[in-house]
Structure 1
Amino acid sequence: MNDIEFQLRGEYIELDKLLKATGLAQSGGQARLMITEGQVTVDGQPESRKTAKMRAGQRISVQGQHIRIVA
């Protein structure tokens, strides 16, 4: 699969909102469940904080799909 490039509009986006905005989760509830179940990594490390602040330059992986955040 191709990487998803996400254009950041502010300083950061919360992780659960990012998953929903990119279409990897169909709802905020599904996004939070994916994070809770350990399906999400940020820069190669498991991330369990649902509202972790994602900033430009970070790389998020979930279910074989990758998101790259750009400013």
Structure 2
Amino acid sequence: MIVGMPGRDVRKAYELFVERHELSHIPQIEDIDGSLWSYYGITAQPAWIFFDTEGGVKRGRGPIPTTLLKSDA
């Protein structure tokens, strides 16, 4: 499952971002105070985090490498 976490801003700003980039089909987590960004060590956008089924975490900045988007399912 993919979940978006827009930048730390007011709700209207991230709603416009989601609309402009046609991301409304992806659930979004509102993180206005930045607590989730801080918890996961995100300091700027774009950033991404993948959690695997065994509890492993991969994170990075910039575009998501397409090799990480391939599924065995």
TM category (shorter chain) comes to 0.3 to 0.5
Q: TM-score, normalising length from structure 2?
A: 0.32
- Give the TM-score taking structure 1 as reference length: 0.32
Larger radius of gyration: 2
* Structure ranking higher on relative contact order (CA contacts 8 Å, 6+ apart): 1
* Greater percentage in strand: 1
